[in-house]
């Protein structure tokens, strides 16, 4: 299999840059597939009757680990495969339901190089529905500083996430 | 503004003694597996070639790895297992604190994941929980209770740290109507 492996370099990024938006029509399948892929068997993520009549929510809703997977996909779509996640911080504000059109957007907050020489971009990524933020995620992702740099090769004291 | 999660200096002795102590070391039920990696990537249409193209994975990460955000996936128990009567929850310390302070409700207000060494198919991971702080009584719009901070550390079979999740929880009792 041949796959594009182009990756974004640190020098190509600056504070204020925006990431391309990702829009996705969420269905019941999206929610259920995501929950089961995360081994989350709790009924509010696959059982409409339980979600509505026991939890009091409008429908089944996307679980947190699956949202994390969406954020990861969104960020590494932008970085390319050499981009290596160092840290993610989530602030949950609302739920995502079947029928929602979710939109992920992101902004570069800061670009830096740490004491070990690793390049970092700090991002604020937002998952929103109809302009209403459901989850904010602060992401620290390592980017190669040169064409022959590979953040994934860092271990121990050379990896400071 | 003061840190709402700062540790109370007047905690019950049992709770104070548990701060900083490693608790609930749990081994995953099964080794990290490639099929689940593909299922997770498919669920979010993640086409990162690290997870689909062995040649790319070999060149960049020295072989296949799991998406970092799958860390907690490897510790969720099977929906059913023969003979199982009890299970330790991934955040058992959180539930212990709710019981210790008789706080019926709780929410997570913050979740941070820090990623260390990559996780690879075949790895047998283990996890452990460490209570970092418990605040004094606080009143928020939800009710009156306490904040606590819990670290969940993940290690591989060589005891190398692969990640740390930090949760800030707020256990509370609703104000009387």
pLDDT in tens, A127-160: 999 999 999 999 999 999 999 999 999 999 999 9
Tell me the pLDDT tens digit for each residue of B121-135: 999 999 999 999 999
In terms of Cβ atoms closer than 10 Å to its own Cβ (0-12, 13-18, 19+), residue B148 is buried
Cβ–Cβ below 8 Å for B43 and A5: no
Question: Residue for token digits 């992401």?
Answer: A139
Amino acid A1: pLDDT = 43
Please give the span between the terminal C-alpha atoms of chain B, in angstroms, as a whole number: 29
In terms of Cβ atoms closer than 10 Å to its own Cβ (0-12, 13-18, 19+), residue A147 is exposed
Which one has a higher pLDDT value, B174 or B149?
A: B149
Cβ–Cβ below 8 Å for A88 and B113: yes
Cα separation of B139 and B146, whole Å?
8
- Considering the domain boundaries, does residue B2 fall inside one? no
Domain with residue A40: its CATH number is 3.10.129.10
Inter-CA distances, B145 with B139, B141, B148, Å: 6, 11, 10
For residues A1 and B53, the answer to whether their CB atoms sit within 8 Å is yes
Domain enclosing residue B87, as ranges? 13-173
Amino acid A102: pLDDT = 98
A2 pLDDT tier (thresholds 50, 70, 90): very low
A4 pLDDT tier (thresholds 50, 70, 90): low
- Considering the domain boundaries, does residue A3 fall inside one? no
Q: Which of B48, B79, B110, B156 is the best substitution to test chain A (most A C-beta atoms within 10 A)?
A: B48
Q: How far is CA A122 from the centre of its chain?
A: 13
The per-residue pLDDT of chain A, averaged, comes to: 94
Strand partners, B100: none
Which one has a higher pLDDT value, B84 or A66?
A: A66
Tell me the pLDDT tens digit for each residue of A31-43: 999 999 999 998 9
The per-residue pLDDT of chain B, averaged, comes to: 92
For residues B70 and B131, the answer to whether their CB atoms sit within 8 Å is no
Give me the residue from B46, B62, B116 closest to A159, CB to CB: B116
Cβ–Cβ below 8 Å for B73 and A39: yes
pTM of the model: 0.90
Tell me the pLDDT tens digit for each residue of B36-78: 999 999 999 999 999 999 999 999 999 999 999 999 999 888 8
C-alpha closest to that of B132 among B2, B23, B27: B23
Domain with residue B25: its CATH number is 3.10.129.10
B87: three-class secondary structure by DSSP:
coil
Kindly write down the DSSP assignment for every residue of B36-78, as one continuous string: HHHHHHHHTT---GGGT-HHHHHHHHSS----GGGGGGGGSPP
DSSP state of B19: B
- Considering the domain boundaries, does residue B159 fall inside one? yes
For residues B128 and B119, the answer to whether their CB atoms sit within 8 Å is no
Give me the residue from B55, B67, B110 closest to A72, CB to CB: B67
- Considering the domain boundaries, does residue B157 fall inside one? yes
Q: How many domains does chain B have?
A: 1
Domain enclosing residue A53, as ranges? 10-158
Alpha helix (H) ranges present in B124-173? none
Q: How far is B43 from chain A (nearest CA, A)?
A: 5
- Considering the domain boundaries, does residue A76 fall inside one? yes
Amino acid B161: pLDDT = 97
Q: How many domains does chain A have?
A: 1
- Considering the domain boundaries, does residue B1 fall inside one? no
- Considering the domain boundaries, does residue A39 fall inside one? yes
- Considering the domain boundaries, does residue A94 fall inside one? yes
C-alpha closest to that of B128 among B80, B171, B86, B88: B88
Cα separation of B96 and B87, whole Å?
14
- Considering the domain boundaries, does residue A1 fall inside one? no
Spell out which residues of chain B touch residue A30, defining contact as CB-CB under 8 Å.
43
For residues B101 and B173, the answer to whether their CB atoms sit within 8 Å is no
- Considering the domain boundaries, does residue B5 fall inside one? no
- Considering the domain boundaries, does residue B36 fall inside one? yes
For residues A10 and A145, the answer to whether their CB atoms sit within 8 Å is yes
């Amino acid at each position: 299999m041949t796959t594009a492996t182009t990756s974004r370099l640190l020098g190509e990024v600056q504070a204020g840059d925006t990431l391309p938006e990702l829009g996705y029509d969420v269905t019941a399948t999206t929610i259920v597939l995501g929950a089961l892929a995360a081994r989350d068997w709790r009924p509010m993520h696959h059982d409409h009757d339980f979600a509505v009549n026991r939890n009091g929510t409008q429908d089944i809703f996307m679980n947190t680990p699956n949202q994390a997977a969406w954020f990861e996909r969104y960020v590494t779509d932008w970085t390319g495969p050499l981009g290596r996640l160092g840290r993610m911080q989530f602030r949950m504000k609302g739920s995502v339901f079947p029928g929602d059109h979710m939109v992920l957007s992101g902004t570069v907050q800061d670009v830096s190089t740490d004491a070990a020489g690793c390049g970092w971009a700090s991002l604020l990524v937002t998952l929103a529905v109809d302009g209403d933020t459901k989850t904010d995620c602060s992401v620290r992702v390592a980017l190669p500083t040169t064409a022959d740099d590979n953040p994934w090769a860092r271990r121990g004291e050379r990896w400071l996430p | 503004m003061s840190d709402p999660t700062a540790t109370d200096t007047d905690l019950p002795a049992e709770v104070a003694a548990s701060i900083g102590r490693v608790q609930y070391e749990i081994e995953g039920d099964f080794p990290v597996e490639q099929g689940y990696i593909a299922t997770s990537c498919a669920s979010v249409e993640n086409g990162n070639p690290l997870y689909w193209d062995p040649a790319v994975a070999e060149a960049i990460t020295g072989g296949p790895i799991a998406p970092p955000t799958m860390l907690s996936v490897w510790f969720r128990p099977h929906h059913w297992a023969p003979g199982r009567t009890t299970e330790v929850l991934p955040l058992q310390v959180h539930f212990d604190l709710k019981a210790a302070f008789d706080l019926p409700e709780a929410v997570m207000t913050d979740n941070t994941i820090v990623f260390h060494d990559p996780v690879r198919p075949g790895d047998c991971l283990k996890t452990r929980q460490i209570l970092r702080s418990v605040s004094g009584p606080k009143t928020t719009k939800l009710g009156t209770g306490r904040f606590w901070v819990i670290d969940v550390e993940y290690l591989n079979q060589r005891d190398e740290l692969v990640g740390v999740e930090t949760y800030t929880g707020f256990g509370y009792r609703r104000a009387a109507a």
